[in-house]
Amino acid sequence: MKKRFFALLLVIVLMTSVFVGCTQQPKESNDALVGEGEIDKETQDKNEQEKVEPVDIKKVFVSPQWVKSVIDGGQEESKNYIVLEASWGTANDSPDYNTGHLAGAVHVDIASIEGEPYWNLKSPEEVEQAMLDLGITKDTTVILYGSDPSGTARVAYAYIWAGVENVKILDGSLNAWTKAGYELETAANAPTPATEFGAVVPANPEYWLSIEDAAKKLEGDPNFKLVSIRSYKEFNGETSGYSYIDKGGEPKGAVWGKGGSDPYHMEDYVHEDGTYITMDEMKELWKDLDFTLENELSFYCGTGWRASIPFLIMYENGYTNMNMYDGGWYQWQMNDNLPVQVGDPTTDQVKYTTVGDLPNDKAAK
């Protein structure tokens, strides 16, 4: 009986030892991995970053995954970058900076790159100083996002004109970022100013067209097309689109490039989720309009925000036969002697006159 009892006891002891050994082995293995490369959350995140492919320096519209990989150190651009939330006014005026922004993001006032009397781009010296105040040099990767797709594009265009070589826009803005599962922060961030931009501003003056040159080209260059990125009601002169512009119409010879329902919405160029249309989608949008990609194209709108979007799409895709007529309708309608059209020139309902003879009752109500 004792032999059977001790034999049974030995079996129990052996089984307990095996069981304990089995349950403890993973813990011992984990402890070893902690010091020798444990695959923890941080490492998993880095592995995920490695899967995000680099993008070309000319590519403007980028995914939240790519932006996250830059912030987390997974791209070449991680060495020298800044994330900017672009909106009008101070950070306190922003619709969302104080309630949540990307990690490390700094607020940029759109007014830092444009100003009165025409809301054209500011002088090269002023734009350069605005960039230096943010720590931006020609070699800085600038990643922009904002609640207004047109306003964000306006800042991106200004930086490209100035000479920043790597300008990006988070495609879809905060909506895309949070939809991808990434977190926001609320603490305000201050930039570290720079002292030297590294190039003469503007490094790309060919992307900007003055009102004088726009007028000359309209009159004497048949390959030149001044493309209105405005609502159809603005294009045919029913309304100026703005409460502060009394006259409606377009420069004589302008062609319509579509836009949206009003100056503050760009349904033709921006999807419902806030992402910008692609080059292929823009070609489809333009296929029945009065210009082609073979023309020299100069985009304009009211004051330069909306027109920046097709410019950036073409820039990203390697086109060089385009620029921005910066003054837009706002500056044009300040010159009484300039020729204008009221109505759609593709129909017989168009009237040609001068700015001085336009009525002053077309301000948006």
To the query of whether residue 22 is one of the catalytic residues in this protein, the response is: no
Query: Could you give the C-alpha distances from 265 to 5, 96, 119, 306, in angstroms and in order?
Result: 87, 19, 19, 9
Dist CA 114 CA 87 (whole Å): 12
Dist CA 157 CA 250 (whole Å): 23
Place of tokens 């991680």: 78
Residue of 215, 301, 314, 338 with catalytic role: 301
Give the pair of three-digit tokens for residue 270.
Answer: 């921006």
Dist CA 310 CA 307 (whole Å): 6
Dist CA 21 CA 67 (whole Å): 46
Residues belonging to the chain: 365
Contact 252, 243 (CB under 8 A): no
Contact 127, 208 (CB under 8 A): no
Closest by CA position to 58, among listed 155, 154, 164: 164
Closest by CA position to 68, among listed 58, 77, 59: 77
φ, ψ of residue 61 in degrees (nearest 5): -90, 115
Beta-strand pair 120-121/114-115: antiparallel
Cα–Cα–Cα angle for 293, 302, 271, nearest 5°?
A: 60
Dist CA 243 CA 280 (whole Å): 34
Dist CA 89 CA 108 (whole Å): 8
| 276 beta partners | 270
Q: Which residues contact residue 121 at a Cβ distance below 8 angstroms, ignoring those fewer than 6 apart?
A: 113, 114, 127, 158, 161, 208, 304, 326
Q: What is the DSSP letter of 28?
A: H
**Residues annotated as catalytic (active site), given as ranges:** 301
